[in-house]
């Protein structure tokens, strides 16, 4: 079945640094989503991408839908302590408007 490879698995960074993470797939997706999950909470949608090549920002977050439709990346600029959490990418299952394939997550840890 379809799989998403998300990397890195975890990141230890200093406050104020920029962060970059990405997801790749062997299959094409029509939509990419990025979520954040805080400890003990459910995922919260950060950014949705609908077109190949699309670049979308949400505050300090920027995400791009790869041209090949097989990858996406998320950047966080000038990280702050509340950015700590697990970031997930998800791709829309072709032919479905509600089923998603999820990456395994990137755990972000910020050193004060």
Partner 1 sequence: NAGVMQNPRHLVRRRGQEARLRCSPMKGHSHVYWYRQLPEEGLKFMVYLQKENIIDESGMPKERFSAEFPKEGPSILRIQQVVRGDSAAYFCASSPMTGYTEAFFGQGTRLTVV
Q: What does the binding site for partner 1 look like in residue numbers (CB under 8 A)? A: 4, 6, 33, 40-45, 48, 88, 90, 92, 97-100, 102-105
Nearer to partner 1, 8 or 16 (CB): 8
Tokens of 82: 């509340």
In the bound complex, what is the minimum distance in angstroms from residue 41's beta carbon to partner 1?
A: 5
CA angle 4, 6, 9 (to 5 degrees): 145
Nearer to partner 1, 98 or 112 (CB): 98
In the bound complex, what is the minimum distance in angstroms from residue 40's beta carbon to partner 1?
A: 7
In the bound complex, what is the minimum distance in angstroms from residue 37's beta carbon to partner 1?
A: 9
59/46 Cα distance (integer angstroms): 10
* Residue with token string 């840890």: 109
């Amino acid at each position: 079945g379809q799989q998403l490879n998300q990397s890195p698995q975890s990141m230890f960074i200093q406050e104020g640094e920029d962060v970059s993470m990405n997801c790749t797939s062997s299959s094409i997706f029509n939509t990419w989503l990025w979520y954040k999950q805080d400890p003990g909470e459910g995922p919260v949608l950060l950014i949705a991408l609908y077109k190949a090549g699309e670049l979308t920002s949400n505050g300090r977050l920027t995400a791009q839908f790869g041209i090949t439709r097989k990858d996406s990346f998320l950047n966080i600029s000038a990280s702050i302590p509340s950015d700590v959490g697990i970031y997930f990418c998800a791709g829309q299952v072709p032919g479905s408007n509600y089923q998603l394939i999820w990456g395994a997550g990137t755990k972000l840890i910020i050193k004060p």
